[in-house]
Amino acid sequence: MPPELAVNNFNKPTNILFIYHRLDGIGGIETRWIDEFQYLNKHNYHVYLLTHKRAFDPNIAKLFNTCHFTTVDIESVSLATDFIKLVDHVVDTIESHDIELLSIHMLDLFACAAVMAAQLCRIPVISTIHGTPDIYRAPFNRLFIQSLTGNSFSLSVSVSKHLEGIYFSQAPLIKVIPNLINLNEYRHQASEITPAWLLISRISAEKYESILRFLQAANSCNIANIDIAGGGDPLELRKRINALDIKTQVRFLGEVRDIAELMPGYLGVAGMGRVAIEGLACQKPVCIISPEGNLIGLVTAYNFTRLRNYNFTGKGLVAIDNQELSKQLERHTPENSQHLYQKLKHELSIDNWDKYIELYKKTTFIDNQALESLYHKLAYFAVTLSRPFEKDKFFWHLFYETLIEYKLDDIKEMYHYYEDSIGLTSDYPNPYVTNKKVKWRDKFK
C-alpha cells in the first residue's frame, strides 16, 4: 500500500449510527447525546441518528449540530412485516452511509431490528441502558431483545452501578459511563432570586410519589414556595397536592427546555438523576427524592460518591425524615455548594468523554448467527403473523427452534422458566403505579 494511501485511511472518519425510537423531547438520553456527539466529532467520528418519522421534532434536532438525521415511517414495529421493513431500512442506511459502528439506546423492538441489521452488515454494536424499566418489561424482551440480541453486543454501557448490577451482559466490554455535564452552560448567580425551590420532574403517574413526598417535606421545613417544571397534565397531581393540606404554595411552569437559564434564580433544586447534576452545576443545594418516593435529602460531601455511582437516584442510601432534612438545610452553606461543584468538575465534567470514547475504538464485530437465522425466518413468515408477533405462538415456535439449532441452552432454560412461572407474554409489574386509594395527607406523618 502506498504511504500516502495508508495516511488517508488512518485519518478516515468513523461513521457511527445511533438508533432510538423517538426524538420529540429533551430528556436524559437526549441531553447526554448533545455532549457525546460533540466529543465523538472531536475524535473523528461522523454521527448519524435514525429515528421514527412520526416521533421526530425538527426543533429538537437543531440542538444536535454535529449529527446527521434519517427517519423511517412504519405503522407498528410489533407487526412482523413492519419489523422486517425496519431491519431492511437500517441495512440500507448502514450501507448507503458507510456506517461502521451501531449504538442503540433502549432495549426495545426498534433497537432490536437495528441490531439485526448490524448482524447482516457485520458491524459492531454498542448498547446503553438508561433505566430499570428498560430491563424489566416482559419475558419477550428479556429472551429475544436482551438475551438473544444481547449476544451481539461488543460494548455494554450502563449509566449507573445499579443498572450494571441487575443487567446481565455477555459483552466483552462492560462499562459504567455516568451522565456527564458541560459546566460552561451553567451559571452560579442570578440578578434576581425567586424565594422558592425548583422541583423538576415529568408530570406523570409514576412520578407522583416522589413529587408529593418532597412537597410534604418542604412544608415541614417551612419552604414557602415551590415551582414545578416538567411536561404533563397537572390536573390529577393538583388534586393530590390539595389532599396533602399543606401551606407551601405550588406553581406549575410546564415543560421548560432551557433549565440552565432557570435554575440560578432559585434557592434550591429538587429532583433526581440529571436534575441533581444540573443543580450542583449551578451551586445550589440539591435535594434527592428517589423514584420510589423516598426522601434521600441533600447532596453532601459525605454521600456524593454513592449518589454519583447510582446516577443520583438515591439507590443504596437510607431515606431520612422531614426533621433531618430541616437540619441539613440549616447546616448547608455556600461553601458546601462550592466544594461539591469542584467534585462535580473533577468527576462528571464532559471532558471525561475523551477517555470513555476510547472504548468505542476497541469494539469488534461479534457474530450472532442465531439472530441472523431468526431474521430470515421472520422475513419469510412475516405475512402469516397478522397480530403483534411477540404474542403469536408460531413466532415462539420459530424462536425456540432457533435456540435448539444453535444450542443456546442458557436461553432455553430461561424460556422454560418464564413459560412455567409468569408466562411468556406477561408484563412485569410497574412498582411506581398503584391502584390503591391513599389519603395523601396521612401518608407521610
Cα 303 to Cα 262: distance, rounded to the nearest angstrom: 26
Amino acid at 82: D
**Span 301-321, average pLDDT:** 93
Strand 45-52 with 14-19, pairing? parallel
- Does residue 6 have a pLDDT over 60? no
pLDDT in tens, 210-222: 999 999 999 999 9
Decide: helix, strand or coil at residue 312.
coil
pLDDT in tens, 370-408: 999 999 999 999 999 989 999 999 999 999 999 999 999
Q: Of 441 and 180, which is predicted with more confidence?
A: 180
What is the band of 176 on the pLDDT scale with cuts at 50, 70, 90? very high
Alpha helices in 204-297 (DSSP H): 208-220, 235-244, 259-262, 274-281
Cα 337 to Cα 169: distance, rounded to the nearest angstrom: 37
pTM confidence score: 0.87
User: Beta-strand (E) ranges in 190-306?
Assistant: 194-200, 225-229, 249-254, 266-271, 286-289, 295-298
What is the band of 430 on the pLDDT scale with cuts at 50, 70, 90? confident
Q: Is the dihedral of CA 219, 222, 227, 229 positive or negative?
A: negative
**Span 30-55, average pLDDT:** 95
Predicted confidence at residue 156, as pLDDT, reads 97
Alpha helices in 43-157 (DSSP H): 58-61, 80-96, 109-121, 139-140, 149-150
Predicted confidence at residue 186, as pLDDT, reads 92
What is the band of 69 on the pLDDT scale with cuts at 50, 70, 90? very high
Q: Of 258 and 81, which is predicted with more confidence?
A: 81
What is the band of 440 on the pLDDT scale with cuts at 50, 70, 90? very low
Cα 279 to Cα 271: distance, rounded to the nearest angstrom: 9
What percent of the chain has pLDDT above 70?
Answer: 95
Predicted confidence at residue 10, as pLDDT, reads 54
Predicted confidence at residue 191, as pLDDT, reads 83
**Span 324-341, average pLDDT:** 97
Predicted confidence at residue 443, as pLDDT, reads 37
- Smallest CA-to-CA distance from 38 within 71, 17, 63 is with 63
What is the band of 121 on the pLDDT scale with cuts at 50, 70, 90? very high
- Smallest CA-to-CA distance from 254 within 193, 185, 201 is with 201
Predicted confidence at residue 4, as pLDDT, reads 46
Predicted confidence at residue 432, as pLDDT, reads 67
**Span 305-314, average pLDDT:** 93
**Span 76-95, average pLDDT:** 97
- Smallest CA-to-CA distance from 188 within 303, 27, 344, 331 is with 344
Cα 395 to Cα 382: distance, rounded to the nearest angstrom: 9
What is the band of 8 on the pLDDT scale with cuts at 50, 70, 90? very low
Predicted confidence at residue 425, as pLDDT, reads 87
Average pLDDT over all residues of the chain = 92
What percent of the chain has pLDDT above 90?
Answer: 80
Strand 295-298 with 286-289, pairing? antiparallel
What is the band of 431 on the pLDDT scale with cuts at 50, 70, 90? confident
Q: How far is CA 330 from CA 285, 296, 324, 326, in A?
A: 11, 16, 10, 6
Predicted confidence at residue 433, as pLDDT, reads 64
**Span 276-290, average pLDDT:** 96
- Does residue 441 have a pLDDT over 60? no
**Span 289-312, average pLDDT:** 94
